Amino acid sequence: MLARLLAYSLTNFPMIKFENVIKTYNNQRALDGINLQVHHGEFISLVGLSGAGKSTLLKLIIGEEQIDGGKILIDEIDISKVKKGDLPYLRRKIGMVFQDIKLLPKATAFENISFAMEVCGHSKEKIKEEVPKILELVGLEKKSNSFPHEMSGGEKQRVAIARALSHRPVLLLADEPTGNLDEVNASEVLDLLLKINQLGTTVILATHAVDLVNKIKKRVITIEDGKITMEQEQGRYRL
């Protein structure tokens, strides 16, 4: 059954389905009856103020937090029924990037990616072949030998995205990836996420930056106090 998890790129059923999902922390509802479907190949922006529940929603998808009500199906498999020991299998197919870019400070861009691949058991040959390709994809082939302190915030975030891509995820979750970046760097990171999506990876972008999602013509989901208050197929977010 597990082999099916996130195994298909083109299917009729949604990749992710939330059915009336409730998540509480200390008896407070962080998510309050979320219904949501994400299809293979989609790019979704999840927009909301700080504390709205965006990170919680992403954590539920990777099984980092457990739900208190409702159901989450990933490729029609109820993830509450996936055994703890099998969660790494699911997570390997999901890439994650965060506002807080955690690169190894004493490792080059190349090494930051190659170490992540080594941990997952890839061979030296495979790593040598793959890393330059991924660096090229994120537009950092010239920064291969640069250390994090020699890169801009946007470049560091692109290395972090490259590292997430090295596992060839079918789903990329980006939690406020532009939160610490200026406008130019933020826009480069956003363009990269769009490119990755065009190449076939499903992307969920969580952000409070409304102006950012207004720039892209993709599906926008607005979350307020743990509830989805607006869904737009394409186009502009309005308050």
Ligand X SMILES: Nc1ncnc2c1ncn2[C@@H]1O[C@H](COP(=O)(O)OP(=O)(O)O)[C@@H](O)[C@H]1O
Residue whose token pair is 């995820």: 169
The kind and range of the H/E element at 91 are: helix 87-92
Positions 72 through 91 that interact with ligand X (CB under 6 A): none
Count of helix runs (H) and strand runs (E) in the chain: 7, 10
Say which residue the tokens 């532009």 belong to.
178
- Nearer to ligand X by Cβ, of 68 and 141: the residue is 68
Q: Distance between CA atoms of 140 and 155, rounded to whole angstroms? A: 7
Site string for Mg ion, 181-200 (x = CB under 5 A): --------------------
The continuous run of DSSP H or E covering 28 comes out as strand 28-38
Q: Using CB under 5 A, which of the segments 6-14, 29-37, 54-62, 194-202 binds Mg ion?
A: 54-62
Cα dihedral across residues 169, 173, 175, 180: positive or negative: positive
**Per rule CB under 5 A, is residue 56 in the interface with Mg ion?**
no
Supply 117's token pair. 């691949």
Contact indicator for 10, 33 with CB cutoff of 8 Å: no
17-25, 50-58, 110-118, 183-191 -> range binding Mg ion (CB under 5 A): 50-58
Q: Which of 21, 52, 55, 202 binds Mg ion (CB under 5 A)?
A: 55
Stretch in the footprint of ligand X (CB under 6 A) among 49-57, 77-85, 101-109, 140-148: 49-57
Which of the listed partners (Mg ion, ligand X, none) does 30 bind, with a CB threshold of 5 to 8 Å by partner kind? Answer: ligand X
Which listed option, ligand X, Mg ion, none, makes contact with residue 25 (CB within 5 to 8 Å by class)? ligand X
From the list 21, 44, 52, 74, which residue makes contact with ligand X (rule: CB under 6 A)?
A: 52
Rounded to the nearest whole angstrom, what is the least distance from the CB of residue 39 to ligand X in the complex? Answer: 23
User: Smallest distance, Å, CB 31 to Mg ion?
Assistant: 12
Rounded to 10°, the helix 124-137/109-119 angle is: 130
How many amino acids of this chain bind ligand X (CB under 6 A)? 11
In one-letter notation, the amino acid at residue 84 is K
**Amino acid identity, position 9:** S
Write down the H helix ranges in 94-219.
109-119, 124-137, 153-165, 183-198, 210-215
Q: Residues 5, 30, 67, 213: which binds ligand X (CB under 6 A)?
A: 30
Q: Which does 52 bind (CB under 5 to 8 A by kind): Mg ion, ligand X, none?
A: ligand X
Reading the block at residue 238, the tokens are 């309005």
Region 147-176 residues binding ligand X, contact defined as CB under 6 A: none
Positions touching ligand X (CB under 6 A) are 25-26, 30, 48, 50-56
